[in-house]
Structure 1
Amino acid sequence: MRGGIELRAARVRYGPLEALHGVTLAAPAAAVTVLLGRNGAGRTTALRALAGTAALSSGAVVRDGRDITRRPAHERAAEGVCFVPDRRAVFSSLTVAENLALSYPAGDFTRALDAYPELRPLLRRRAGTLSGGEQRMLALTRALLPTVEVVLADEPTQGMSPAVAARTYALLTELDACVVLAEQRLPPALREGASRTAVVHELRRGAVVFSGEPGELSSAPPRYAPE
């Protein structure tokens, strides 16, 4: 199993506003890690900090024991970090086939189309004309590449049908990679009894308020402070 990735005392600022307040969290290779929280909690910013698309004002990003804080996003991608953002995750002006060709330059889309056969009849369609769920499928095919060592996916099943969402979580849990997901709610597929251990970090207002296993979370809805 490949190495994990973590944030250490990470702070991220957007202008005068601080979005992460000294966040420390680890995503071990042997588990699927879920960054849990509602919009504005800091989960997306934490994911972007790991990917290198959000710069730290202080703290560190550590991958497999190596400090990669100063490595730009494109270098992290070249070293096996696959980031699937929640928006603009595909090239909308290119066809589905052209999007796939960017990830699979040899032209063999078998693994992608086996995972998401729904894309097969859409190969000539421009990605921008696809439904939200279809675009998520197309974006997630990048995570299936054997060269990917870390998958960072923001709400990976947004817009998908329940059946396709369940298949997607199964695909993600079976990857030989460190998998980190940003979610508003803990997916049922990652609760106790899942085929791969899950680790949860719940964020609220830019800080980690819980770290542990899914079974340690309350069965009630996520605990959010009043606005």
Structure 2
Amino acid sequence: MTISLRHARVRYGPLEALHGVTLTAPAPGLTVLLGRNGSGRTTTLRALAGVVPLSAGAVLWDGTDVTRLPAFERARRGLCLVPERRAVFGSLTVRENLELVAADLPDRLPYPELEPLLARRAGALSGGEQRMLALCRALPSPARARVVLVDEPTRGMAPSVAARTYDLLASLDACVVLAEQRLPPALRGRRVFVHELRRGAVVFSGEAAEWAARSAAGTVQP
């Protein structure tokens, strides 16, 4: 199972954000999109999810062209996008947010830290707590997402919770694509595929170990 872009271009008005991007994320496993702000990481995730249309190119899922398939249909087929912002419904409680995914909550949440907060409104949570809540949509649940796209998954989390988050994401039997500014230390010892983007174009594709070696040699930017 894979999801990929082929010569994808995305425009926001007169500005082109992706310039013919081609990349593949295999499954099961982790793929990391690396790049600074403005590199095209978030747009790549949104293009894969169908949130933004392509002006050229294609999105392929398991070899099938889904370029014209709307975002809600991709979600029905098992694609889950966890955006960096507005990833939870702030006016709903933690419990109500979780019940949008599954009517019956599991005996133990992926993040036990949320259990005493079930009655609290999501908008009153800290940034890290909101990320935990948003990720609960993608982590093991009756929904069983087949493709999981997460923009900066550990923003605002304590280091120990962030490390646990990467363990949870790595344990999924799914195609998991993460957008990060830097390769997290917790992933450097794992078999992870990396695509580095700069200014809307892919400048490196390969395994994390190769990326780290090139970074140490100054071939790519850390």
Q: Secondary structure at the match of 1:160?
A: coil
Partner of 1:94: 92
Q: Distance in 1 between matches of 2:24 and 2:179?
A: 14
Q: Does 1:172 align with 2:166?
A: no
Shift of 1:215: 1.3
Q: RMSD in angstroms over aligned alpha carbons?
A: 1.4
The counterpart of 1:187, out of the listed 164, 184, 193, is 184
* 8 Å contact from structure 2 (residues 41, 179) kept in 1: yes
* 8 Å contact from structure 1 (residues 7, 62) kept in 2: yes
Partner of 1:161: 158
Q: Does 1:204 align with 2:198?
A: yes
Shift of 1:216: 1.4
The aligned amino acid for 2:3 is I
Q: Which segment drifts farther, 84-93 or 138-147?
A: 138-147
Correspondence list, 1:104-119, <5 A:
104-105=102-103, 107-111=104-108, 113=109, 115-119=110-114
The counterpart of 2:122, out of the listed 127, 148, 158, is 127
Q: Distance in 2 between matches of 1:78 and 1:220?
A: 44
Unaligned ranges ≥5, structure 2: none
Partner of 2:148: 151
Shift of 1:84: 0.1
Unaligned ranges ≥5, structure 1: none
Correspondence list, 1:46-85, <5 A:
46-85=44-83
Partner of 1:32: 30
Shift of 1:220: 6.8
Q: Distance in 1 between matches of 2:217 and 2:15?
A: 31
Q: Secondary structure at the match of 1:75?
A: helix
Q: Distance in 1 between matches of 2:121 and 2:30?
A: 32
Q: Secondary structure at the match of 2:170?
A: helix
* 8 Å contact from structure 1 (residues 100, 109) kept in 2: no
Q: Secondary structure at the match of 1:54?
A: coil
The counterpart of 1:136, out of the listed 112, 119, 131, is 131
* 8 Å contact from structure 1 (residues 35, 203) kept in 2: yes
Question: What is the percent sequence identity of the aligned residues?
Answer: 70
Partner of 2:208: 214
Q: Distance in 2 between matches of 1:85 and 1:220?
A: 33
Q: Distance in 2 between matches of 1:179 and 1:157?
A: 14
* 8 Å contact from structure 1 (residues 92, 128) kept in 2: yes
- Could you give the per-residue CA deviations for residues 160-216 of structure 1, whole angstroms, max 9, x where no partner exists? 000000000000000000000000000112113x2xx21000000000000011111
Q: Distance in 1 between matches of 2:26 and 2:10?
A: 22
Give the TM-score normalised by the residue count of structure 2: 0.94
Q: Distance in 1 between matches of 2:87 and 2:195?
A: 24
Shift of 1:73: 0.6
